[in-house]
Structure 1
């Protein structure tokens, strides 16, 4: 029997939720952090290594994959799961954000966005219909509606115009989406930091009807306080029987705070990008392995972590790899960072199930604020 796409809510603790998203390629326990695999790979990681951290779902990027190697080519080769040898669920973004941020030249109209590739200058038109077609060819378990990510800052008038265009594109995305067992389409709530626009957007999306609801247009420079206040208002507007996804977030403290506000799913390039730039996340904050303070330190990066970087190697060795520009350094730190994020999510899930998520959050933030351990 084919799996139906659905969200099962198993427990709540305050606004925090414990659940499972069921997809064609397996389940995703929530709250969940999804590593970003922009171009069909989580950078510096083998798919089996990503899975070993506990990650169940990864992201693919519509914009990058449509330009190289091409969605039709990936489709002919069996879809993104087969192409990159990832057996779990895949979520793909719609491509709208990258068009706005990366394309050399772009022109947005009601139809969509005409742009030139940042790779070779070739001309393309990305519309809601084409975005749905690309994500279908990629075989994404979770497809995102095509939208414009409202920039920050934006005036109320600019935010309203952007949000309403995204809502019209959301309807076209829903109309073009091919319904299949185990596959879902998410709408994206926009409206900047303006509560009335967020409410209008949430109501419009629920009028269209989606399998899940994302909150977009945050973590774009507004700061944590404004992000949290926007979530405090927006998240209760979303259906309780559908997964809620905060796009592009974020730092561990952002994720913990958003879980307390009822968010179920997260993604961010931060753990992988930081791993490639000598930054390691630990329970006592971020550590820069480039610093000389680590060069004689025989201790692991994080004594509580079971990843290979912490289980087998010292801070001194990781420092040596980074300073020597050896590729193993970014590989080990990337693995560690993804493991750290997955461990945080596992801790949150366990705490919600046991009714102690507020205590978990308080202890997590207090430990992070202590700062790194002193070198011996």
Structure 2
């Protein structure tokens, strides 16, 4: 197999096997950050929770060991995959590091990392356009500079995409980078947006980058470590993430949940049944010594992150990632805005979204947002194309009330009464469709939450009827009084 092997698709998200020297990583995946100076304290925790890889900082390891070569798997006593960052985050924080790109690239080769990152220049969010463009050009220069060093390497190499906060510069950076043959691409500098819950911006920049990059190569998004946003980023094509959020939040007594974050002193009950929350009450966590509490909250946060990764994978397998995003969008106002980006760019998602899956599940039609589900929208478009090829001079429109729509009393009654009329069903989510498809997917395999007609569906129905050249139209309506 190739080093990256996608197996399941939904929207622009996918489940894939990423092959490294020390084993496979199933994506989507989040690399917990491990500080080289505190490795023993948290490695056992991330392993226990189920993370089979982590990321650490090669630059900090280089400084700690004064450049001395050390096998990273021996150093951490870890026989599974290890990813190393190059010091770009330190450049973002402090402006520079006391090592050059070639040195840190060679060092990552020597310590035997599985996934390595060249030393890029992050643009952050405070650079001017000129500064950001110069940072991109320097990163691109370094990517070519590194090629001679990594060509024969059996490691996976990552090329960071910079340009934030300027969408056009992210476009430029990703377009140029797509022509440079790295194994993995990574979008940099989203941390500030995450801290501000500006998920719209992160999604937009991720979409811009993903569209320009080779679809057969994974995309890493640096610094993403909250369960709220992970499935949204997966849906637009992100595969890998990394974050130290689990421990940073824990040191501040903050607990992650799928819907947000709460400080320990804000909680009376824990709405979580992970092993930590099942064993300790909120009161017990408050009363224990700080070091023990930090470790336990960090472990809780890791369990929540792992649960989100697994939940996202499950929805991809079921073909219900869109429905999951709909559900998530109702948990927080920032996620509602994020879902707006998903809706806006659904044409992009349609290019990757399989129309039907072998292990198909019924579509969950929740509210008017469900109309935009790409799987449903593609079916409507295909049905409309089919309809306008037919002859409908006499047309009877029936409301689709109960499944199977073509095998109920109302349909049979009107078919006998208006035998000279063609019959089409109309539905608040499915639009117009002929009786002969009413037993096929998704016209039969769907569940409805709230019946409401959106202006989008009404326009689609009117436009389609106009194209059918109907001379005699009869519409059966439902009396809801």
Which TM-score band applies after superposition, normalised by the shorter structure?
0.7 to 0.9
Q: Which deviates the most, 250-259 or 23-32?
A: 250-259
Match of 1:272 among 247, 270, 276: 247
- Alignment correspondent of 1:303: 272
1:231-280 CA-to-partner distances (Å, cap 9, x unmatched) read 22221111111111001113322222211111000011111111122111
1:305-343 CA-to-partner distances (Å, cap 9, x unmatched) read 2x3x1231111101112xxx4321011111110111011
- Alignment correspondent of 1:136: 109
- Alignment correspondent of 2:343: none
Q: How is 1:92-111 mapped onto 2 (pairs within 5 angstroms)?
A: 92-102=84-94, 106=96
| 8 A Cα contact 2:162 2:173, kept in partner | yes
Match of 1:328 among 289, 292, 306: 292
Q: CA deviation at 1:22?
A: 0.8
Distance 1:50 1:27 in 2: 16
1:160-214 CA-to-partner distances (Å, cap 9, x unmatched) read 1111111001111222226343x21011111223333223322322322101111
The answer on 1:85 being equivalent to 2:83 is no
- Alignment correspondent of 2:190: 218
Distance 1:178 1:65 in 2: 24
Question: Structure 1 residues 203, 282: CA separation in 2 closer, same or farther (over 3 Å shift)?
Answer: closer
Distance 1:266 1:289 in 2: 26
1:81-114 CA-to-partner distances (Å, cap 9, x unmatched) read 11112222111111122134247xx5xxxxxxxx
| 8 A Cα contact 1:348 1:357, kept in partner | yes
Distance 1:43 1:225 in 2: 37
Higher relative contact order structure (alpha carbons within 8 Å, sequence separation ≥ 6): 1
- Alignment correspondent of 1:39: 36
The answer on 1:175 being equivalent to 2:167 is no
Match of 1:25 among 22, 25, 41: 22
> What is the SS of the residue equivalent to 2:104?
helix
Q: CA RMSD in A?
A: 2.2
Q: How is 1:116-155 mapped onto 2 (pairs within 5 angstroms)?
A: 124=98, 126-155=99-128
The answer on 1:11 being equivalent to 2:11 is no
- Alignment correspondent of 1:64: 60
- Alignment correspondent of 1:109: none
- Alignment correspondent of 1:289: 264
| 8 A Cα contact 2:56 2:82, kept in partner | yes
Distance 1:82 1:302 in 2: 39
Distance 1:81 1:259 in 2: 29
The answer on 1:364 being equivalent to 2:334 is no
| 8 A Cα contact 2:227 2:257, kept in partner | no
Question: Structure 1 residues 21, 276: CA separation in 2 closer, same or farther (over 3 Å shift)?
Answer: same
TM-score (norm 2): 0.64
Distance 1:5 1:178 in 2: 17
Match of 1:314 among 266, 269, 281: 281
1:60-93 CA-to-partner distances (Å, cap 9, x unmatched) read 10221111134425x1xxx111111222211111
Q: Which deviates the most, 191-200 or 145-154?
A: 191-200
Question: Structure 1 residues 327, 171: CA separation in 2 closer, same or farther (over 3 Å shift)?
Answer: same
Q: CA deviation at 1:228?
A: 1.6
Question: Structure 1 residues 142, 131: CA separation in 2 closer, same or farther (over 3 Å shift)?
Answer: same
- Alignment correspondent of 2:461: none
TM-score (norm 1): 0.81
- Alignment correspondent of 2:48: 52
> What is the SS of the residue equivalent to 2:217?
coil
Distance 1:356 1:43 in 2: 39
- Alignment correspondent of 1:372: none
Aligned residues: 330
| Segments of 4+ moved more than 6 angstroms | none
Distance 2:105 2:21 in 1: 17
| 8 A Cα contact 1:35 1:42, kept in partner | no
The answer on 1:200 being equivalent to 2:197 is no
